[in-house]
Structure 1
């Protein structure tokens, strides 16, 4: 008995036939990877604030104002806005804000793919990704408006989620491995790139400034190729509003059923206002000299 003494407990690992040894946690083997993802995610969230402020002002000028009060009011709002966001440093800040948001978002997605590869292995990567995206934690309380869906990869959960049928896994998550928010961001990147080129870059290349750009420029495009311009501009507004509204819901952690309903309502109202704005702007008279200049812009 005198030889017995207390020792510190130590874990014992024993190999069990048929069961592979557990893999080390990727969080401990790759701490810098997790820190990089967290840093890029935070950068992505905060970098978009200046561009969101500009977008809200721009939507008010070209969508809400013309639809409710007429194209002339829209032109006045564009003139006021131009004095604000065409200041060199302000315009540069908006551009940097958008670029940082896009680059950090792409980097986060790539690092997450690599993280899943390291954690699960090549054979199990796709299986575990799909399982993670489909896991939904729900908290049901007395009021149906308090139902929360914590799976941020579902976007708005589909129309079925607001009528009590439950949210559905998004098509983009199942087939592309992208959340609806990320997918809308990539689509918006293409649409917004074309919009910026024809609205800002092309006039700069031709005249050195974009002072001639107002509602008559949009009217000329609608009068020349109505369905192409009408569809592209509506798609730009709908995709941009969806991306910003869902992104802010995610940032503010607003996942309740009430928040989703309000987001759908806001998207519907803005889409309707966009259609009304374009239909009213189409009737503007465009002088021949301005139309000729606009044709040069569009030909760039």
Structure 2
């Protein structure tokens, strides 16, 4: 046997190939990433030091000693805030769309809206069941992106062994994949950001502006919205169509995610997210099931949008201008924002 083969040393190419990494940011998950190997010893020591005092610090909420990270709690804040928002949205949908669709009249629907305001627009219920859940939902979603970004940077960025090989490869002219620590933005998140902007404009026009101009918003109702459609129909139709579409798409797909349907839905023929069974018949069945779920979720969003638009755009938007001093109040409000 050649003695040189026994004294062979690893080549530089082998070392570089073992050090090469092509990381992909972790998709949305409720679990924190496990600790890195170099962090394991420190974590074990910290756990051993704190194990004696863990039970003493346990509160009635049972948060300590649960080993849950920030992603776990932020995800639950985002989820549980949707419960209050769903109740409010159902009441609001009934008063701004379904009831006008039944009565076919804006004045006849105003009394039902006034009754609903006694539920969600009191000094106690409005901040507690409307403003706080909305703020918590948006803040938790944004915070989740930053937490996942920090985890990706901790694992793949900074002083990882693959930095030098990637730099050398890029200097040699070979194509490299640029790593972004930010997690991928899903369509649910995109629709949520758009919905948040539209909702902010809606709240400003219907709640904050009247409070600032008149010190009260008791005169603001369906007639105020109809007055705006009569003044600027193109702007109003475009704004409310976008708001309804984003709202229904985000809420329906969001609930599909909470109940576990969104990860199973997809129109693409591949099964990357679910894996292949290596059996053609089973793979075909799973593809069909994914497409059926996709159609059901999107169909639900479309139906919800149509119902909301039927009453909101089909009845309320055609209510016409208000006359008298109420119409003058509405004109002043819209003129304040250049409408």
Same fold by TM (over 0.5)? yes
SS for the counterpart of 1:52 is helix
Identify the residue that residue 135 of structure 2 maps to in structure 1: 99
Q: 1:47 to 1:126 in 2, by over 3 A?
A: farther
TM-superposition CA deviations, 1:215-239 (whole Å, max 9, x none): 1111111101101101101111111
Residue among 123, 138, 141 paired with 1:88? 123
Identify the residue that residue 15 of structure 2 maps to in structure 1: 17
Alpha-carbon deviation of 1:262? 2.7
The yes-or-no answer on 1:119 pairing with 2:151 is no
- Would you say the 8 A contact 1:48–1:97 is kept in 2? yes
Identify the residue that residue 66 of structure 1 maps to in structure 2: 100
Separation in 1 of the partners of 2:33 and 2:317?
A: 57
The yes-or-no answer on 1:53 pairing with 2:51 is no
- Would you say the 8 A contact 2:105–2:315 is kept in 1? yes
Superposed counterparts of 1:124-163, under 5 Å: 127=179
Identify the residue that residue 28 of structure 2 maps to in structure 1: none
Residue among 205, 208, 219 paired with 1:212? 219
Alpha-carbon deviation of 1:127? 4.8
Q: Scaled by the length of structure 2, what TM-score is found?
A: 0.63
SS for the counterpart of 2:211 is helix
Q: 1:36 to 1:203 in 2, by over 3 A?
A: same
The yes-or-no answer on 1:108 pairing with 2:123 is no
Alpha-carbon deviation of 1:265? 2.1
Separation in 2 of the partners of 1:63 and 1:57?
A: 10
Alpha-carbon deviation of 1:254? 2.0
Superposed counterparts of 1:233-252, under 5 Å: 233-252=240-259
The yes-or-no answer on 1:260 pairing with 2:317 is no
Separation in 2 of the partners of 1:229 and 1:128?
A: 39
Separation in 2 of the partners of 1:50 and 1:235?
A: 23
Q: How many residues align?
A: 239
Separation in 1 of the partners of 2:293 and 2:109?
A: 30
SS for the counterpart of 1:196 is helix
Q: Which ranges in structure 2 are unaligned for 5 or more consecutive residues?
A: 1-11, 22-31, 44-66, 167-176, 265-289
Q: Which ranges in structure 1 are unaligned for 5 or more consecutive residues?
A: 1-14, 134-176
- Would you say the 8 A contact 1:41–1:108 is kept in 2? yes
- Would you say the 8 A contact 1:51–1:97 is kept in 2? yes
Q: 1:44 to 1:265 in 2, by over 3 A?
A: same
Separation in 2 of the partners of 1:78 and 1:194?
A: 20
TM-superposition CA deviations, 1:239-281 (whole Å, max 9, x none): 1111111111111112454443232222222322343332322
- Would you say the 8 A contact 1:71–1:215 is kept in 2? no
CA RMSD between the two structures: 3.1
Residue among 26, 35, 45 paired with 1:28? 35
Identify the residue that residue 292 of structure 1 maps to in structure 2: 328
- Would you say the 8 A contact 1:26–1:118 is kept in 2? no
- Would you say the 8 A contact 2:188–2:250 is kept in 1? yes
